Every structure is written in C-alpha cells, then in structure tokens.
Structure 1
Amino acid sequence: MTNPGHLAETEATELKEIRTACRHLDAVARHVRDFADMMRDLRGDELPAWMDRVLADDLPALHSLVNGLRRDLDAVLAALTTLWSSGQVEDHMTRVKLLKRMGFGRAGFDLLRNRILLRT
C-alpha cells in the first residue's frame, strides 16, 4: 500500500473521491493504514485499541484478521515491539533447502552436512 504522501496529486484526488463514495472502503483503508503504521514504527502498545476500533466497525474481513491476531497475541505483540528479526534464520533455511534440492535425492546427509558447513 503506497504511502498517501507519495501519491501524485491526481492519484490522491482519485483516491479521496473513491474513499468518499464508499464508507466501508474508507474504513478498511483507514484501519489498514493504521496497522501498517504500527508495524513500521513498532508501536505494539496500540494494538489492543486498534483491534477494538476494527471490531466496532462492520467489516467481517478485518474481524477475521483481528481474530487471527488474538489467537497468537503474544507473538504479534512481540513482533510489533521488538527490533529482533528472524530474517537471518530464514535466509539460512532458504540456503539449506536450495542445497538439499541441488542434491536431488542423490546426495546423502553427509554430503549435505559438509556443503552447509563449508558455506557458513
């Protein structure tokens, strides 16, 4: 979702007209923008109030999102409040999977282990 401040003037005008014509779309866009801002700025302390505002509106798709967030609220709050990222772990797992696929079932565990250890 593009930051509204980065839109061209004509695009901003069109977006405003569309959002004015449909109150549900305006509410969805507002809630999504608020959630994106929370994610970008790591403001997890605002999540419970955001979820209450979403549930107050008649938006079933966003209600489903809130219910999903509530199922694992501790993890969501941790993601929205800490600087820690699992990006490095995911990078290594992707590399291991690539090496495993390159063996195409012919290479045994020992060769895979050696290739992983030599690359790190």
Structure 2
Amino acid sequence: MACRRHRPPTVCQATGWFLRHPDTLESDEHQLLQTLAADCPALAALREHVRAFAQMMMRRTGEGLEQWMKRVQADDLPELHSFVTGLRRDFDAADVGPTLPHNFGKVEGHVNRVKMLKPQMYGLPIDGPSIR
C-alpha cells in the first residue's frame, strides 16, 4: 500500500483519517486516504462502512443498523464482523440507543475523573499502572 510520492502512512495515521470527519482532513491527508482506498479494495469497503456507521450515530438514525450489519457481513472484513457480533449480542439496545436523546457523556466524564484520582490516592503517578 505504499504511496507513489509519499512515505506510507503509519497504521495510527490511517486509522485517524478513517475515523475523522472528512471535512476535517487536510488536503494532503484526504489525497493519501483516497490513494489508500484506491490501492486496496478492502480499505475502501472499510472506509465506507465506518462512514455509514458514523452517519447513523451522528444523525441518531438507528433504524438502518440491521441493513448496515448485513452489508458488513457480506464483505470479507473479519474485524468488522467481530464488531457486528458484539452489536447483535445486545441488538435491542444497539438499535434503539442512537435514536434516544439521552447519552452518558456526563457519567463517563465523572468515571474518567475518578480513574485519574484513584492512583493519586495510592500515591502512584497518574500515568503509572492502573488500579482497578
């Protein structure tokens, strides 16, 4: 997947490009992402599936989740198949979740804050080993 004119991107860089909204990509990042997708059909399919899932989440339209999962299963993308398997385990929540106006943003923020404070209580550095 090496680019013709540029050094190949790292996995981390490419992942970031796939997960970011296309409007936030720099022109060279967009071009490199286009090149990656053109060079590898599996990456092109992955890109479309990720984009479609992100649109469902952003627009809060969980009604299309079942069709999205069927399209993913039709492609040879084992990592996404694993994700779909997890969604199917609790399909009722996954299907209705994006359509609800509620979210757990505040709760998750407090959980993260507590996770940062807990090591400090034991006298450990913040970036040290976590205590669970």
Higher RCO (C-alpha under 8 Å, 6+ residues apart)? 1
* Partner Cα separation in structure 2 for residue 20 and residue 49 of structure 1: 25
Q: 1:100 to 1:26 in 2, by over 3 A?
A: closer
Number of residue pairs the alignment of both structures matches: 104
1:52 to 23, 48, 70: 70
2:60 paired residue number:
42
Q: Secondary structure, in 3 states, of the residue corresponding to 1:58?
A: coil
Cα deviation, residue 83, structure 1: 0.9
Instruction: Specify every segment of 5 or more residues in structure 1 that has no aligned partner in the other structure, as ranges.
Output: 105-120
Based on CA coordinates, which of the two structures has the bigger radius of gyration?
1
Cα deviation, residue 61, structure 1: 0.9
2:46 paired residue number:
28
1:17 aligns with 2:32: no
More helix per residue: 1 or 2? 1
Could you report, residue by residue, the CA deviation over 1:15-72 in whole angstroms, capped at 9, with x for unpaired residues?
1111100000111111011111111110100101100100111111111111110000
Cα deviation, residue 89, structure 1: 3.7
Aligned pairs for 1:37-116 (under 5 A) are 37-91=55-109
Cα deviation, residue 7, structure 1: 1.7
Instruction: Specify every segment of 5 or more residues in structure 2 that has no aligned partner in the other structure, as ranges.
Output: 1-18, 123-132
- Identity of matched residues, %: 44
One-letter amino acid of the structure 1 residue matched with residue 66 of structure 2:
P
